[in-house]
């Protein structure tokens, strides 16, 4: 009988008696051998699992984000501030959305068609889509939302986007938009978040901005609002969201989304470095060094199609009504220094209303004559009759009515550290040219309601988002001078009006580009504003967050267009099943 045959003759009783026959040392050696075998087997299985399986997104996890500001309007028709847009973008969805690479793709819509002449857009809704409260979405909701956007009583700043657009319901899933003439960027309009008719239909225009649904929204986006917390003074300090279970084709991977709100950049950065939250939008430049030292954080840097500048209200200031003064303000602004000191080189100099890298922009070389040149600025003012007769450092001039006009004006801006620093540097620069500037700083809410909307300012330091496929109509057409229009320079130029009207109705990209170049040349002649810089968008996120690989966004809130595909948790799937 050989060894293997003898193994078959071992009885259960003999096996059970084996431990009693072994010495303590032999038992220890046997245990060690067993543990080594088990460990080796586990290691082999793990190695094989890693080699022959793939990590896939899994549901679960929480993303905590810090932002500056206080939420007021989680409402696509009223959201103006970055914080309101952020929350609106996770709660609401439009017919279309950005895909993170600059393209526009269906969201609530299943598909769409455009007529050959570019004047009709027909959308078919996805089958079975629902609001976060479980009620079905139909084209009635689309029709309802667009009619509110077009109604001047609701005072929506997007109203200009829908002027001249007709809308009709074909059936419960099909809706058609009819344009009076082609409008190249129209598809971007359909990103507008849709409001549920059953929630808002009985709310009057007078009550619209006061409704509790502006802070307790019901939408069709990736997340639904759960609750918010206030501090002792009544300020909202945090907001909790969870997956919208009715999102199609599937709910978002990340289960919970939490926002934490801070009144200033310094408090935001301090809280981030104290790890009170995981990600921070619009990270200030001064927060970069410490953030880059964190091994568990990465910074996404993107160019956004936005322009910051000083916009002049020539109706409010006799000094700013002088073309020579506006030209000298352009020449005396050291924009490169602003980018270096304020943005810490996280941005680019801008000379025109359409920033570099955006469709229709002009090569900055064409604006060499607008570069910083203090002595030339002084000469322009001198030739226009401005002089310092009383030796106080401020120029003055006598007008046709023999009245003395001081070369002074007020510069209003919001209480953002970067804007305040910009305003103070400009104050110093312009003082060297003999121009007196009084800087007025307002809290963001006060700035929007009592300065921007009322148009009560001499000059305004402000930022404008023009979009990668720009339509400057709302910012520079004379019809948009009054609130809720965004022509904050009160600019009027019939030639510019015509160019903008033709550009937005031209489908041919080369013709549109030419119109935009001509438009900017007219702006250059009139100097209704001093365009300063376009800062980079800095988004700090944890390395455990995957899927946030967007490369093109127009405004910061667009980062959430793809949030339903972001994930924190993963699971291993054997390759045989993942093909």
Q: What pLDDT, on a 0 to 100 scale, did the predictor assign at position 7? A: 45
Please name the fold of domain 62-296+543-571: D-Maltodextrin-Binding Protein; domain 2 (3.40.190)
Whole-angstrom distance, CA of residue 158 vs CA of residue 201: 20
Whole-angstrom distance, CA of residue 103 vs CA of residue 251: 22
For residues 84 and 70, the answer to whether their CB atoms sit within 8 Å is no
From first CA to last CA, the distance across the chain in angstroms is 52
Mean pLDDT is lowest, of 98-102, 437-441, 503-507, 563-567, for 503-507
42 vs 190, which has greater pLDDT? 190
Beta-bridged to residue 411, according to DSSP, are: 439, 459
Main-chain phi, psi angles of 246, to 5 degrees? -100, 5
The H-or-E segment that residue 12 falls in is helix 12-21
Side-chain-side CA neighbours of residue 182 (13 Å): 14
Q: Which tens digit of pLDDT belongs to each residue from 12-53?
A: 565 565 566 667 776 677 677 777 777 776 676 566 565 666
Structure tokens at 190: 């359909």
Mean pLDDT across 525-535: 96
Instruction: Give DSSP secondary structure letters for 352-364.
Output: SSS-TTSTT---G
Whole-angstrom distance, CA of residue 498 vs CA of residue 435: 34
Q: What is the mean pLDDT of the chain?
A: 91
Mean pLDDT is lowest, of 50-64, 200-214, 410-424, for 50-64
Whole-prediction pTM: 0.80
Beta-bridged to residue 300, according to DSSP, are: 539
Q: What pLDDT, on a 0 to 100 scale, did the predictor assign at position 400? A: 81
What does the DSSP 8-state code read for residue 491? Answer: -
Q: Is the pLDDT of residue 181 over 60?
A: yes
Mean pLDDT is lowest, of 181-185, 211-215, 340-344, 537-541, for 181-185
Residue 33, classed as helix, strand or coil, is: helix
Q: 519-523: long-range contacts (C-beta < 8 A, 24 or more apart)?
A: 519/353, 519/472, 519/476, 520/352, 520/353, 520/354, 520/360, 520/362, 522/493, 522/495, 522/496, 523/352, 523/353, 523/476, 523/496
Mean pLDDT across 328-336: 97
Number of H helices, E strands in the chain: 19, 22
For residues 443 and 420, the answer to whether their CB atoms sit within 8 Å is no
Residue 91, classed as helix, strand or coil, is: helix
CB atoms within 10 A of CB 70: 17
Q: What pLDDT, on a 0 to 100 scale, did the predictor assign at position 45? A: 59
Q: Is the pLDDT of residue 217 over 90?
A: yes
Structure tokens at 511: 């013709």
9 pLDDT band, cuts 50/70/90, is low
Residue 495, classed as helix, strand or coil, is: helix
Mean pLDDT across 479-501: 91
Whole-angstrom distance, CA of residue 211 vs CA of residue 73: 9
CB atoms within 10 A of CB 319: 23
Residue 398, classed as helix, strand or coil, is: strand
Mean pLDDT is lowest, of 37-41, 166-170, 394-398, for 37-41
Strands (E) across 443-563 are located at 459-465, 529-542
For residues 517 and 358, the answer to whether their CB atoms sit within 8 Å is no
Whole-angstrom distance, CA of residue 457 vs CA of residue 320: 12
Q: Which tens digit of pLDDT belongs to each residue from 245-304?
A: 999 999 999 999 999 999 888 899 999 999 999 999 999 888 899 999 999 999 999 988
Q: Which tens digit of pLDDT belongs to each residue from 338-354?
A: 999 999 999 999 999 99
417 vs 167, which has greater pLDDT? 167
Q: What pLDDT, on a 0 to 100 scale, did the predictor assign at position 52? A: 61
Structure tokens at 214: 């502006």
4 pLDDT band, cuts 50/70/90, is very low
Q: What pLDDT, on a 0 to 100 scale, did the predictor assign at position 13? A: 60
Q: What pLDDT, on a 0 to 100 scale, did the predictor assign at position 79? A: 94
306-536 belongs to which CATH class? alpha beta
Mean pLDDT across 82-86: 95
Q: What pLDDT, on a 0 to 100 scale, did the predictor assign at position 22? A: 63
Q: For 436-469, what is the HEC assignment? A: EEEEEEECHHHHHHHHHCCCCCCEEEEEEECCCC
């Amino acid at each position: 009988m050989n060894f293997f045959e003898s193994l078959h003759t071992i009885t259960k009783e003999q096996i059970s008696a084996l431990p009693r026959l072994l010495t303590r040392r032999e038992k220890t050696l046997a245990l060690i051998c067993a543990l080594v075998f088990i460990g080796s087997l586990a290691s082999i299985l793990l190695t094989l699992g890693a080699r022959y399986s793939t990590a896939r997104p899994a549901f679960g996890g929480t993303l905590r984000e810090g932002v500056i500001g206080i939420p007021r309007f989680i409402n696509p028709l009223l959201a103006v501030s970055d914080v309101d847009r952020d929350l609106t973008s996770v709660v609401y969805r439009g017919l279309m959305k950005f895909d993170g690479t600059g393209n526009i793709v269906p969201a609530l819509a299943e598909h769409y068609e455009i007529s050959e002449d570019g004047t009709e857009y027909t959308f078919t809704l996805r089958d079975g889509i629902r609001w976060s409260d479980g009620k079905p979405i139909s084209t009635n909701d689309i029709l309802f939302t667009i009619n509110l956007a077009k109604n001047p009583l609701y005072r929506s700043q997007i109203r200009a986007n829908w002027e001249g657009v007709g809308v009709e319901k074909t059936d419960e899933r099909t809706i058609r938009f009819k344009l009076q003439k082609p409008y190249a960027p129209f598809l971007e309009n359909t990103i507008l978040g849709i409001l549920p008719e059953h929630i808002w239909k009985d709310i009057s225009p007078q009550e619209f901005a006061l409704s509790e649904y502006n802070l307790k929204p019901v939408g069709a986006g990736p997340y639904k609002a759960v609750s918010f917390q206030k501090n002792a003074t009544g300020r909202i300090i945090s907001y909790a969201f969870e997956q919208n279970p009715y999102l199609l084709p599937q709910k978002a991977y990340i289960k919970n989304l939490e926002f934490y709100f801070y009144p200033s950049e310094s408090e935001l950065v301090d809280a981030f470095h104290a790890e009170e939250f995981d990600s921070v939008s619009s990270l200030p430049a001064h927060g970069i060094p410490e953030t880059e030292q964190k091994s568990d954080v990465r910074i996404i840097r993107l160019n956004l199609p936005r322009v910051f500048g000083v916009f002049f209200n020539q109706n409010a200031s006799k000094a700013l009504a002088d073309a020579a003064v506006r030209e000298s303000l352009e020449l005396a602004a050291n924009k490169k220094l602003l980018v270096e000191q304020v943005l810490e080189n996280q941005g680019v100099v801008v000379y025109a209303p359409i920033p570099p890298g955006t469709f229709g922009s002009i090569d900055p070389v064409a604006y060499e004559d607008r570069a910083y040149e203090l002595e030339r600025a002084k000469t322009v003012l001198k030739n226009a009759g401005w002089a310092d007769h009383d030796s106080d450092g401020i120029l003055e001039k006598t007008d046709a009515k023999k009245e003395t006009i001081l070369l002074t004006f007020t510069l209003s801006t919001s209480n953002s550290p970067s804007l305040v620093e910009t305003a103070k540097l400009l104050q110093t620069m312009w003082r060297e040219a003999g121009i007196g500037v009084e800087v007025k700083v307002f809290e963001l809410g006060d700035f929007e309601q009592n300065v921007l909307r009322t148009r009560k300012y001499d000059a305004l330091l402000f930022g404008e988002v023009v979009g990668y496929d720009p339509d400057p109509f709302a910012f520079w057409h004379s019809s948009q001078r009054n609130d809720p229009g965004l022509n904050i320079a009160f600019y009027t130029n019939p030639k510019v009006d015509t160019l903008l009207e033709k550009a937005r109705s031209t489908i041919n990209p080369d013709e549109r580009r030419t119109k935009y170049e001509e438009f900017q040349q007219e702006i250059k002649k009139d100097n209704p504003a001093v365009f300063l810089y376009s800062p980079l968008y800095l988004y700090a996120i944890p390395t455990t967050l995957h899927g946030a690989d967007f490369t093109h966004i127009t405004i910061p809130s667009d980062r959430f267009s793809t949030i339903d595909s972001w994930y924190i948790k993963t699971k291993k799937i054997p390759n045989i099943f993942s093909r």
